[in-house]
Amino acid sequence: MLKNYFKIAIAVLKRRKFFTFISLFGISFTLTILMVLTAFMDNVINPTYPDLKRDRSLFINHVELQNSTKGWRNSSSPSFYFLTHYAGSMKTPEKMAITSTGSSSNAYVNDKKIVMDVKYTDANFWEVADFDFTEGKPYSKAQIEQSQHVAVITERTKADYFGDQPSVVGKYIEADNIRYRVIGVVKDPPVTSNTYFAGLFLPYTLTKSNYKDTGHMGDFNAVLLAKSTADVDKMQKEYDQIISRVPTNDPGMDRLYSNADTYFRDKVRGLLGTGAKSGFERFMLMISLAIFLFMLLPTINLININITRIMERSSEIGVRKAFGASSKTLVYQFIIENLILTGIGGILGTLFSGLALYFINQSNFLMGLHLSMNFTIFFYGLIACVVFGILSGVYPAWRMSKLAIVKALKAQ
């Protein structure tokens, strides 16, 4: 039976090639966009180089002070003191890495300006992150305490500044008129991993800001690393307990908020969160609504095209009804035919997605980011095909099943 439905579906698709093109284009284009976005989100959410321990990490990127009476609030990244004094007193984490927020530095080579993203870090940064060193090694705790002018650079910075020199360890790089001795070169981290993304890594003791300031707010972030994934919740609760006892140190503010979040929740909090609210539920609602609306347009388009196709086949419907075909059988047939149509569109969408991801990776549009197809992306694409097929096929099939035999036969 399914074989016959497939033959009929192919014959119908060949009958009106323009309608078929519009249908397949709408399905494949929508699926391509959805699958590329899914690949991007999969890369952002799941552990990727150099953040391979993300499943047992929590990120501290925000401190917020509020006046609950007047509604005032002031938010910022935490200070170095805040992180070392409070988060540093925790017992659960195996390690805590501290890094500065993003900044930039200028260098000039052969009258060409090079803008480098800079991170100031502690020694634990290199143990929490899994950077792949192609040359040299990271700076040590002793070198940091001695404020040595040493640096770790990425392969891209190496190519931009030193050209095609095979080895640059021991050479000097000058940024903002300050010379640093290169002691290590790492593979480029993806730009989406903003905690670890930079082109030039320096000891935190060389930062231009006052890292010794004892205020709550500053320009540093921290990554808490648990011994195992089972300790992540315990680590989060311990941090919450410590923060609940931290004074605001500001007479105009009576509440202090800071959270140790998983990677994705931390990003959402940075976009939509405030105070104790992470904004995660609102974000998921917005994403779900956006996906629904994005899929609604091609679904409505398919419904209209399918109704047109069905009306053209009214005589076939009338004959089949006259020979005893039930409405249920006809509905089943047309839904199967529509699933076949969306299945073909899904195959095309998968092929187009693979091409799109290839060109995105080759263009290096997002530095260090490599998107790829995997089972998760394919699974969501398959779900989208089934949703397209059912939603766009049920109503036209129901309309078809209600056609009276005499009216259907006279339509031709």
The predicted-structure confidence for 369-410, as pLDDT tens digits, reads as follows: 677 776 676 776 677 767 766 776 676 766 666 665 555 455
pLDDT (average), residues 113-117: 92
The domain ranges of the chain are: 2-46+282-410, 62-260
* Tally of CA atoms within 13 A in the half-sphere of 303 that contains its CB: 16
**What's the pLDDT score for residue 94?**
96
**Which tens digit of pLDDT belongs to each residue from 226-246?**
999 999 999 999 999 999 999
**Structural contact between residues 182 and 167, judged by C-beta atoms closer than 8 angstroms:** no
What is the reported pTM?
Answer: 0.78
Q: Does 9 or 201 have the greater pLDDT score? A: 201
**Which tens digit of pLDDT belongs to each residue from 1-53?**
666 666 666 766 677 677 777 777 777 887 788 788 878 777 777 788 899 99
Conformational region of residue 66, where left means phi above 0, alpha means psi within -120 to 50, and beta covers everything else? beta
Q: Cβ neighbours of residue 185 under 8 Å, at least 6 residues apart?
A: 133, 134, 135, 136, 152, 153, 154, 155, 158, 168, 169
Q: Where are the beta strands (DSSP E) in 86-212?
A: 95-100, 103-109, 112-121, 133-136, 150-154, 172-175, 178-186, 200-203
Mean pLDDT of the chain: 83
CA-based Rg of the chain, rounded to a whole angstrom?
Answer: 29
